[in-house]
């Protein structure tokens, strides 16, 4: 594996099909799953490693975001990543240009995090243009982000195939996030209510319930220790709220637990006219986050 700092140095190492895994580092098994999947399909696997200041609304959140380059280099190397792209901010931050994916960015996460998806779309556009991957891997954990990026690629004709990976969860169901290391022991039980609520509603959806507000209420009933910022059934395509579950959807929420803002969702896919929930995958053992 080569550690590179510039787009040119990254491209100089390519052979064959290039798969990119964009990340902000402090790896967990969710990131590693994207790398493993990329490794199976691509001749050259590139991992980008950049804590994107543009996507942080809250400066304190950016400040305490966990970072450890040495640890991440070891983990990426053990996944047989070819190119580890860790750019300086000067390589990554455009001075005057931004990318705004309207409407999709304004829903759900949008109101609570002004500028968040603009920051994400701008940096992902820059990565796509500068690194020119054929394939790019994203997690379903960030379902709205996935919709934003897919739409950006369609609208701006980026020649990149976007591939989505199921959410990787801790053994107790909590969606893996680098921020989970910031949870205190007493935050664990309230945090667990989030995935339990979503999974309960997903079960009811699979059993035939199609009413959006009913599904949202079923999830809400389980979540008693925190008040979610939002909890909505939305279209996978554009994150618009769905009153009726009649297309590929996701039930998503954001909630503050202790000092940490967590997001989670369960995708409700349409398979042969049936709703099938993507519950993600669960680790069999404690995450490497806590090692």
Active-site annotation, residues: 31
- The CA angle 212-213-218, to the nearest 5 degrees, is 100
Question: How many residues in total does the chain contain?
Answer: 291
Q: How far apart are CA 81 and CA 35, in angstroms?
A: 7
Q: Is 107 in the site for ligand AMP (CB under 6 A)?
A: no
CA-atom Rg of the chain in angstroms: 19
Would you say 1 or 281 has its CB closer to ligand AMP? 281
Would you say 141 or 245 has its CB closer to ligand AMP? 141
Would you say 49 or 107 has its CB closer to ligand AMP? 49
Would you say 33 or 245 has its CB closer to ligand AMP? 33
Q: Is 192 in the site for ligand AMP (CB under 6 A)?
A: no
Q: Is 23 in the site for ligand AMP (CB under 6 A)?
A: yes
Q: Is 31 in the site for ligand AMP (CB under 6 A)?
A: yes
Shortest CB 249 distance to ligand AMP, Å: 18
Please identify which residue in 167, 195, 236, 265 interacts with ligand AMP, judged by CB under 6 A: 167
Q: Is 230 in the site for ligand AMP (CB under 6 A)?
A: no
Tokens of 121: 């779309």
- Give the range of 39-47, 97-105, 122-130, 168-176 binding ligand AMP by CB under 6 A: 168-176
Pure H helices in the chain = 7-11, 29-41, 59-64, 69-78, 89-92, 109-112, 116-131, 143-156, 188-206, 212-222
Please identify which residue in 30, 87, 133, 228 interacts with ligand AMP, judged by CB under 6 A: 30
Q: Map residues 126-145 to x or -, x wherever contact with ligand AMP holds by CB under 6 A.
A: ------------xx-xx---
Shortest CB 273 distance to ligand AMP, Å: 27
Q: How far apart are CA 135 and CA 128, in angstroms?
A: 10
* Residues in Cβ contact with 266 at an 8 Å cutoff, skipping those fewer than 6 apart: 198, 199, 201, 202, 250, 251, 277, 278, 279, 280
Beta strands 2-4 and 44-49 are unpaired
Spell 56-82 as b/e; 16+ CB within 10 A means b. beeeebeeebeeeeeebbebbeebebb
Q: Is 264 in the site for ligand AMP (CB under 6 A)?
A: no
Q: Is 168 in the site for ligand AMP (CB under 6 A)?
A: yes
Shortest CB 137 distance to ligand AMP, Å: 7
Would you say 169 or 245 has its CB closer to ligand AMP? 169
Q: Is 175 in the site for ligand AMP (CB under 6 A)?
A: yes
Selection from 63, 94, 82 nearest residue 21 by Cα? 82
Please count the other Cβ atoms lying within 10 Å of the Cβ belonging to residue 246: 12
Shortest CB 59 distance to ligand AMP, Å: 18
Shortest CB 208 distance to ligand AMP, Å: 28
Q: Is 176 in the site for ligand AMP (CB under 6 A)?
A: yes
DSSP 256-278: EETTEEEEEEEEEEEETTEEEEE
Tokens of 248: 């590929």
Tokens of 170: 């801790």
Residue ranges in contact with ligand AMP by CB under 6 A: 23-24, 30-31, 33-34, 138-139, 141-142, 165, 167-168, 175-178
């Amino acid at each position: 594996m080569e550690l590179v700092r510039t787009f040119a140095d990254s491209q100089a190492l390519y052979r064959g099909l290039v798969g990119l895994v964009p990340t902000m580092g402090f790896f967990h098994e969710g990131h590693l799953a994207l790398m493993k999947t990329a490794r199976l399909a691509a001749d050259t696997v590139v991992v980008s490693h950049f804590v994107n200041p543009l996507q942080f609304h809250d400066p304190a959140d950016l400040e305490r975001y966990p970072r450890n380059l040495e640890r991440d280099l070891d983990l990426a190397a053990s996944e047989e990543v070819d190119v580890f792209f860790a750019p300086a901010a000067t390589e990554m931050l455009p001075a005057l240009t931004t990318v705004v994916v309207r409407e999709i960015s304004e829903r759900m996460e949008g109101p609570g995090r002004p500028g968040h998806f603009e920051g994400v779309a701008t940096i992902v556009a820059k990565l796509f243009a500068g690194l020119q991957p054929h394939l790019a891997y994203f997690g379903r954990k960030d379902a709205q982000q996935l919709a934003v990026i897919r739409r950006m690629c369609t609208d701006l004709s980026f020649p990149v195939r976007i591939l989505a990976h199921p959410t990787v969860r801790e053994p107790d169901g909590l969606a893996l996030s680098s921020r989970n290391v910031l949870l205190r022991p007493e935050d664990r039980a309230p945090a667990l209510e989030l995935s339990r609520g979503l999974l309960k509603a997903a079960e009811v959806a699979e059993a035939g319930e199609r009413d959006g507000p009913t599904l949202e209420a079923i999830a809400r009933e389980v979540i008693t220790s925190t008040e979610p910022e939002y909890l909505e059934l939305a279209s996978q395509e554009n994150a618009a709220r769905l009153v009726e579950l009649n297309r590929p959807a996701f039930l998503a929420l954001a909630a503050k637990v202790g000092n940490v803002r967590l997001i989670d969702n369960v995708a409700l896919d349409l398979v042969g006219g049936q709703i099938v929930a993507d519950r993600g995958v669960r680790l069999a053992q404690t995450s490497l986050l806590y090692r």
